Structures are given as structure tokens and as C-alpha cells.
Structure 1
Amino acid sequence: MHVPDGFINAPVSAVAGVVAAGAVAVSLRGARKELDERTAPLAGLVAAFIFAVQMLNFPVAAGTSGHLLGGALAAILVGPYTGVLCIAVVLLMQGVLFADGGLTALGVNVTVMGVVTVVVSYALFRGLVLALPRTRRSVTIASFVAALVSVPAAATAFTGIYALGGTTDVPITKVLTAMVGVHVLIGVGEAVITMLTVGAVIAVRPDLVHGARGLTAPLKLRVGGALIDAAPVTTPATAPAAPAAPASSKKLWIGGVVTALVLAGFVSFYASASPDGLEKVAADKGIDSKVQPHAAADSPLADYGVKDVGDARLSGGLAGVIGVGATLAVGSGAFWVVRRRRNANPAVPANADA
């Protein structure tokens, strides 16, 4: 759903840019409370992983494909504020390096694909987690539903922006019907990817999943037919025990990086070549009649290929690997700075449940 230059006029694009900048500023402050020494590296990995999976277009209908947006996945894994930053980093890398998503439309893309998906998905996710039993399975179920809803929500948000600043004269009802219809189908793929990824991380390191924190329930004992909380186990008060060191996330980080590199460098070659939902609707409804050439169209990595590398498989694979590396470096660096600012600001409380 990367909006190119020319779909939305300059005034509305500028307003969307202000909204996106404000959301990023708020998220930078909020992310200080979400990130610690273990989750900050994970946030950079999440951005790189989303970049990789977005290269894997999957077919959803005849002549139409879809790809992960990633807002729900990022919000559930690392928190909503950090999730907005993850998507913003991905969109920035895609726009600058790969000419994917217009530069003047960057604010529109961050607002639609980052802010809307994160806010909608995380609000729904938290509501479901509170309503469902406090189990890991509930987290995966809630992640599926939240991701599913977030995609048509983003399509609706784009339609609203188009209604305000679209550069072509197309009936808005037709745009809304087409956008929501195809993106409901794409949402199913988004939901499956999000659920599987969240479930996989929970299976090995539930303590690192932001949306799974606080799920540990007290041990229950049945007494006289009723369930009561068991008394906590106590140890003799001898010498005070040293606090347990937090488990390292190094193995998860390495496994995630390898997975992202394989997806972007190899699996992406087999992705669907059909236009994604927005491209298909734009072509069918005439929204793309005033699309403008991308300012980075001459980039050596434009269209996810390495310039002057003739072999398509090798060109796309190298571009994917470079993209994962660049996103990982920029994202990790940004989150490291946010983490350092939290350490330097005593007013920001430590995240005790990390």
C-alpha cells in the first residue's frame, strides 16, 4: 500500500507529513518507556524483519497481490510507540533506497501504514487480551484479529486522505469499496503472518513480547471445590540471593537476522509479481493517471534490484540483503539512541516488567 508521488496533492501531503512527524515525535518519547537493554536490539530486528517480509507479495485474487504492512506485528512485539518508529524506519529505507513509496508521500505512508495500523491494531489487541483468558494462546488469537482489522482500517484511512486531496476525479464510494474489499483479503495474509511470528517468539522468549507481559497468573489450588491462589514459595532468610541475570536475547536476535536475510535474499525471488492492492485499485479506477516519477528512480537499488547486475535472481537477492542490513543498522542505531536518552533522563521510569 505504498502511496507514490502524484496520488495526493501537495497541501494534503504536507498536512499528512506534519501528522506523521508529530506521531514520530510522540513515539520517540513514548518508546523510552518501552525499550530496555534487551528489547532495544529486538526493535531494530523487528524493523529489518518487516522490511524483509514486505518483499514477499502473496496472491490474494486474480491479478492482485498483497504484502505485510507490519503495524500490528511491530506493536505487539515491541510496543505501540516503538512500533510506529519501526514502520517509519522501514518506509524511509524503502523510499530513499528502493524508490518504493513517494518521497512527497512519505507522510501519507507513515500515517496510513504506520500510525493507523498501530493505533487500531494495538487498541483492539489490548481489548481482546483483557477479555480473553490470560494465556499465550489468547495473545496469538488477539494478534490474528488485530492484524486482520488493521489492514482494511489502513485502506479506509487512505481513502479518507484521497477524498481530501486526490489528484484525480474518481467517485470516492468506488475507491472505498474497491480498497476495503481487496484489503480485507490482504488482511487475512497479514493476520496469519502476524499470528505465526508472534506465536514463534512467545514460544521461545515470551518475556520479550511486549503484548504478552503480565500473563503469568498465580498458581491455583483446589480447596473444598474452590480455586484459591497458592501461597508463594519462600526460602529461609539466610544470605540474600543475588538477583538473577536477565536471559540473553542474543540467540533470538541472530536467528531473526538470519531469517530476515533468507527471506529477503532468497525467498523474495518467488514472491508474486502481480500489483498489490493499491496498485490494482489505482489502475482499475484511474487514480494513477497523475502519478509522478520517483525522485530516487535512478537509485542503484531502485525497484529492489542492484543496478548493472544482469541476473534477476542475484540482483533481487543482493538488494534484499542490502535492504535488511541497512534497515537493521538504521533501526538499531535509532533505538540505541532512544535507549540512551532514557538512561540519561531520570524522569523516565525503568521498565520493571521487561
Structure 2
Amino acid sequence: MHVPDGFLDAPTSIATGAVAVTGVGLALRGARRQLDDRTAPMAGLVAAFVFAAQMLTFPVVGGTSGHLLGGALAAVLVGPWTAILCLSVVLVVQSLLFADGGITAIGTNITLMGLVGVLVGWLVFRGLQLLLPRRLGLVPVLAGLAGLVSVPAAAAAFVGLYAVGGQAPLPLAGLLSAMLGWHVLIGIGEALITGLVVGSVVAVRPDLVYGARRVLASRTLEVRPAVRDGDREPGAAA
């Protein structure tokens, strides 16, 4: 979904750049409440994983490309504000060092993948958490569903931007059909990978998963009275 240079007109690119700067600024403030000794190392690992996943791209239509986004995955693992920072760093490095996405379109790509992808994924995840029982086993499933929804949502947002300031000679209906069609398929892959990665971390260290903290906090500690040796039944194991 990396948007190249010249795909959108200057006013639209400037507007998305302003949105991206504002979003990153808010994320810098919000991440202070999310980053701790557990989240900071995880953020680096998440950024590296998303960077590697997004490098696997394939063309969709008119110079755009499709790939895994990683927004929902990052949001569930390290929190939405930190996830925005992770995605933004990845997108800037990809644009400047690998020419993946135009330099003048950095703001557009951060808006689509770093803001829309992350926030939609997180809102879907938290919304489902509020509706369903708080069970640790549901965290990977809900994360996968969030990833499934976030990818076509970001694609739809791109089509909306193109409708406002698109420069390439592409019919809007054809672009919408191609983007949503491909990104629904990508979303299925994103859901599987997101669920597997989150599930792997939850199985080993659930305390490292930001999206699992409310579930862990809601667990009640079961206190059992101590059993003295004289109270044991005859033949019971010591």
C-alpha cells in the first residue's frame, strides 16, 4: 500500500503530512504512559518484524503495492501510541533507504498505515474485548480479527484520498474494487500471522502483551487455606 510520489496532488499530500505530524506528536506524548521496562524492548522487536514483513510487496494497480501492514499486531503487542511510532519509523526508513513509497508521500503512508491501520486495529480489538468475556485465550483471536479489518480499512482510506486528490488516470470504481479485493485477501493473511505471533507471545509471556494486561488484571487471586499435616486424610499424598 506504499503510495509513490505524484500519485496524489500537492494539497492532499500536504494535508496528509500535517495529519501524520499531528498523529506522531500525539503518539510521542501517549507512548510515555505505555513504554516501560517490558514494552521498550518489545517495541524494537515489533518494529523489526513489521519492517521485514512489509518488505514483501506485490503490485496492485497503478503503481501502488500490497503487503502486510502490521498495525493491529503492533497495537496489541505494545499499545496503540507506541505502535504508531513503530510504524512511522519503519515507513520513514523504507522510503529514505529503500525507495519503498515516495518521499513526498511519507505523510500519506504514515496516515494510512501508521494511523488508520493502527487505530482501526486497536479499536476493533478493544471493542471486541469489551463485548466478549475477558479470557486470555481470546486475545490472539481478537488480534487476528483486528488485523483482518485494519487492512481493507486502510485501503478504503487510500481510495478516499485518491477521490479527493488523485493524479493518476485511474477510474475510481476500478481502483476501489482492486484495492479492497486485494486487501481483503491480504487481511486474511494478516489475521493469521497476527493471531499466530500474538498467540506465541501470550503462551510464553502474556505480561509482555499490552492487549492482555486488562485480562490479566481482571483475574482474581484464588486463596486456599493451608492444610496442616494433622488435617490430611489417611493415605493422602504429602
Into which bin does the TM-score normalised by the smaller protein fall?
Answer: 0.7 to 0.9
* Corresponding residue of 1:347: none
1:138 matches 2:108 = no
CA distance in 1 between partners of 2:59 and 2:173 (Å): 25
Which structure 1 residue ranges, 5 or more long, are not aligned? 220-229, 236-354
Question: Which one of 217, 220, 225 corresponds to residue 218 of structure 1?
Answer: 220
SS at match of 1:168: coil
Paired residue type of 1:174: G
Tell me by how many angstroms 1:56 deviates. Answer: 3.4
After TM superposition, list the pairs within 5 Å mapping 1:292-311 onto structure 2: none
CA distance in 1 between partners of 2:151 and 2:139 (Å): 19
1:119 matches 2:119 = yes
1:190 matches 2:190 = yes
Paired residue type of 1:146: A
Taking only aligned residues, the RMSD between alpha carbons, in angstroms, comes to: 2.1
1:32 matches 2:24 = no
Paired residue type of 1:109: N
TM-score, with structure 2 as normaliser? 0.87
Which structure 2 residue ranges, 5 or more long, are not aligned? 227-238
1:175 matches 2:175 = yes
Question: Is contact 2:76–2:143 with CA below 8 Å preserved after alignment?
Answer: yes
* Corresponding residue of 1:209: 209
After TM superposition, list the pairs within 5 Å mapping 1:1-354 onto structure 2: 1-57=1-57, 66-216=66-216, 217-218=219-220, 230=222, 232=223
More helix by proportion, 1 or 2? 2
TM-score, with structure 1 as normaliser? 0.59
Higher relative contact order (CA 8 A, sep 6+): 1
| 1:166–1:194 distance in 2 versus 1, CA, 3 Å | same
Question: Is contact 2:84–2:118 with CA below 8 Å preserved after alignment?
Answer: yes
For this pair of structures, how many residues does the alignment match? 221
Tell me by how many angstroms 1:58 deviates. Answer: 8.0
Paired residue type of 2:107: G
Tell me by how many angstroms 1:135 deviates. Answer: 1.6
Superposition misfits of 4+ residues, deviation over 6 angstroms = none
| 1:214–1:71 distance in 2 versus 1, CA, 3 Å | same
- Post-superposition Cα deviations, 1:71-102, rounded to whole Å, max 9, x if no partner, equal 10110000000011000000011011111110
CA distance in 1 between partners of 2:171 and 2:17 (Å): 25
Question: Is contact 2:39–2:208 with CA below 8 Å preserved after alignment?
Answer: yes
Tell me by how many angstroms 1:38 deviates. Answer: 2.2
